[in-house]
Amino acid sequence: MQDLVIYGAGGFGRETALMIEEINQQHRSFNLIGFCDDAIPKGERVDDYEVLGNSDYINTFGGMLAVAIAVADCSVRRNLRAQIKNRNVSFPSLIHPSVLRGAVKKNVISEGVILTAANVLTTNVRFDPFVIVNLACTIGHDVRVGAFGTIMPGCSISGHTVIDEGTLVGTGARLLPGLTVGKSCRIGAGAVVTRSVPDFTTVVGIPAEPLK
């Protein structure tokens, strides 16, 4: 088993801890030794796990260590990754046992990706590093999600859609086929995206329009 620390002891971090426990019920893969967090004092306990410190704990850890960065905010997750300098650290992809993984040999799931319960993948899907796909999303054929992207619960991403790095897709959003969503965009909760979205744009509504 790999020793593993979850970076982020908030709501999604606690859900990730539960996911690790459920993964271990299927196959003993990880020894979850605790959380790291920049805002919660060292020594506090969160859902029965100790807060071990912040990135200093990870950077000075003496052995091999797996780290899951479990923070939904794309830019915060990118910054946390940049703080980790320890060459003994790995970032495993974490996939809940209930995920329908689709064409496993054709789908690409990069380091640091977290796929939570009840997600459905089809074929030729690509998740770049440190993508999070939260609960019960459907990911169509030939979809690509760029590094540090976040797909919130209950989204439907249709085939041939490209979502660039650092973009967050809000809860329950729907993206129609063949669209391109630029980098560092925000798709509002419940939005229906019917046309491509340029970089650094927030869209909301049905159909989704840029937020003014």
- pLDDT at residue 22 greater than cutoff 80: yes
The 10s digit of each residue's pLDDT in 159-211 is: 999 999 999 999 999 999 999 999 999 999 999 999 999 999 999 999 999 99
Under the banding of pLDDT at 50, 70 and 90, the label for residue 212 is confident
Helix (H, G, I), strand (E, B) or coil at 77: helix
The 10s digit of each residue's pLDDT in 106-153 is: 999 999 999 999 999 999 999 999 999 999 999 999 999 999 999 999
By the 10 Å C-beta count (0-12 exposed, 13-18 middle, 19+ buried), 11 is classed as exposed
Under the banding of pLDDT at 50, 70 and 90, the label for residue 89 is very high
pTM exceeds 0.95: yes
Residue 93 · residue 109 · CB < 8 Å: yes
What are the helix (H) ranges across 40-178? 55-59, 74-83
**Residue 73, pLDDT score:** 98
